[in-house]
Structure 1
Amino acid sequence: MATDPARPRWLALVLIRLVTAMAAVIGVLLLAQGQETGRKLLGGAVVLVSLWTMAVLPRALAHRWKSPTE
């Protein structure tokens, strides 16, 4: 029986969303508990990159994996 390619793709999308959400939480923690400016800048950068990745990457992969229209 052939495996459906949709299941691993769905799992990849879910894992991307989970990892980027965890990265955003880590960035917020760095922002909140950072004493020096460098740590706060790092936290802000982590939050921005993870939010951008969370918004763009799943959509780009879904578009790439979309079935061709007939």
Structure 2
Amino acid sequence: MSDPAQSRYFAMVAVRFAGVALILLGILVVRRVLELPDAAGYLLLILGLAGFFVMPTVLARRWRSPKE
């Protein structure tokens, strides 16, 4: 994988998958499947949503080619 665009794309996809995993963990905590405080579940949900929706956009803007 020598193409930087391809590795950046895979990094953004990995960030989205991590966001989905955090969302699912948060749901499990809030539904009391996992024994953690509710605050931890809601925090995981918020972090997961930010990771899924916000972080790929931030990474894409950071990696954007400079305009000439």
Same fold judged by TM-score > 0.5? yes
Counterparts of residues 1-70 of structure 1 (less than 5 Å): 3-33=2-32, 39-70=37-68
* C-alpha distance after superposition, 1:29-55 (max 9, x if no partner): 10001698x621110111011112222
The TM-score with structure 2 as length reference comes to 0.84
Where does the alignment leave 5 or more consecutive residues of structure 1 unmatched?
none
Task: State the Cα RMSD in Å.
Answer: 1.9
Which ranges of 4 or more aligned residues in structure 1 deviate by more than 2 Å? none
For the pair shown, the structure with the greater C-alpha radius of gyration is 1
Normalized per residue, the structure richer in helix is: 1
Q: Kindly tell me: are residues 59 and 40 of structure 1, through their superposed partners in 2, closer, same or farther at Cα, counting changes over 3 Å?
A: same
Q: Size of the alignment, in residue pairs? A: 67
Higher relative contact order (CA 8 A, sep 6+): 2
TM-score normalized by the length of structure 1: 0.82
User: Identity, % of aligned pairs?
Assistant: 31
Gaps of 5+ in 2: none
Taking the aligned partners of 1:42 and 1:8, their CA distance within structure 2 comes to 32
